[in-house]
Amino acid sequence: MGSSRKARLYGGMDAEERRAERRLKLINAAVEVYGEVGYRGATVKAICEAAELTERYFYESFANSEALLIAAYNHVVGHLHDEMAAAANAAGHDAEQRLRAALTLYFTRLKQHPKPARVFLLEISGISAAVDAVKLDALRDFSDLLVPAIDAKRGDRNSTAALLSSGMVGAVITIALRWVSKQYPQTIEDVVAIAAGFCRVALTEAGKNRLRSV
């Protein structure tokens, strides 16, 4: 069994690990290429060249370019949300401090990494229903990170809390879109203060609605 295992290893990795490594290379290459020419201007060939892989390996991991876009989006946004959650937790239990910590991390990363910011803010909408659905799920996670106290029921899109949550995230994303597209004219501190103001309104309204329902 030991020799069989050894035969399956190449460079210290087995076949499954090598596939995972190639997949991650393609995702990272896609972010770079999308950031240069946009999703619609990117080709499978260009992404494979950036990843230093053949097209055979592309189709080993992805059915088509849209599947890669979704994987790249989930990869980048997942890491961002993890960092935002960690920043909020490090800020303690005060809701305002947690909110500002999460927003500061968010806008800092947008400025530090302009290529992913361009792709996943400016180019992700209107591609397909499948991509829009993935984006919607990510936006719900985003709202939970910023103001978890809203506690919008995901299954009830018509609830007041859900509407407040959607409006809050929409405001933050719109601010981020303009800030990124205009090449970061305001400081991170100023942008965070503006975005936090919108979130605070949503939180206040959610609190009022809870009192009315008691």
Could you list the pLDDT tens digit for every one of the 214 residues in the chain? 454 555 465 556 788 899 999 999 999 999 999 989 989 999 999 999 999 999 999 999 999 999 999 999 999 999 999 999 999 999 998 888 999 999 999 999 999 998 888 777 877 888 999 999 999 889 888 888 876 645 444 445 446 666 777 788 889 999 999 999 899 999 999 999 999 988 887 777 655 555 455 4
d(CA 55, CA 174): 36
Other beta carbons less than 10 A from residue 203's beta carbon: 21
Q: Are residues 74 and 82 in contact, defined by beta-carbon separation less than 8 angstroms?
A: no
Q: What is the DSSP string of 195-213?
A: HHHHHHHHHHHHHHHHHHH
Give pTM, 2 decimals: 0.81
Q: Are residues 149 and 161 in contact, defined by beta-carbon separation less than 8 angstroms?
A: no
Give me the count of residues in the chain. 214
Asked whether the CA dihedral 186, 188, 194, 199 is positive or negative, the reply is positive
